[in-house]
Amino acid sequence: MKKHLSKKRVVLAAIVVVALGIASGVAYAYWTSTGTGSVGSATAGTGVSFTATLSGSAPTGLVPGGSDQAIDVKVTNPATFPQTLSGLTVSVKNGDGSAWILVPGCSATDFSITQPTVVAAPILAGGNVVISGAKIHMVNDLVNNQNACKGASVPLYFSAS
């Protein structure tokens, strides 16, 4: 016997075929999806400290009330990547940055430093730049005797950032 398909059965069969097609497409998309997530993390590096040294001759002949003497500073970038120099401070301190007192009667307060102007600029890896503009002079203390500073070797401390 030959079965006749009714319109309802044809529509129902078409709906089932479309539904199966959609379902298989969703399953296909699910199985081929790559998704997102985190496998690990990157770590940003840190800066490497600049080195700063006196460039040229050290100031000599400092006397109370004497004239300003220039201090030029060579700043070097020892890193393997460029870094930006944005500031330089010159001060009378020991090499480790601690306060300097030669003997009672002669200390860092007997000297005045004019700070250099630094315009932020990159220094290439292994490169350097000489910063001029810093000056030192000995303050003329009208109240206290400054004989203890005669012949003193005044340490200059540089801080580059």
33-69: per-residue pLDDT in tens?
Answer: 444 444 555 556 677 899 999 998 999 999 999 999 9
pTM (two decimals): 0.71
Q: How far is CA 125 from CA 43, 99, 130, in A?
A: 20, 32, 15
Give the end-to-end CA distance of the chain in Å, rounded to a whole number.
97
Q: What is the CA radius of gyration of the chain?
A: 38
- Interatomic CA distance for residues 80 and 91, integer angstroms: 28
Percent of the chain predicted with pLDDT > 90: 65
Q: How far is CA 46 from CA 64, 79, 80, 120, in A?
A: 44, 10, 12, 19
The token duo for 37 is 């997530």
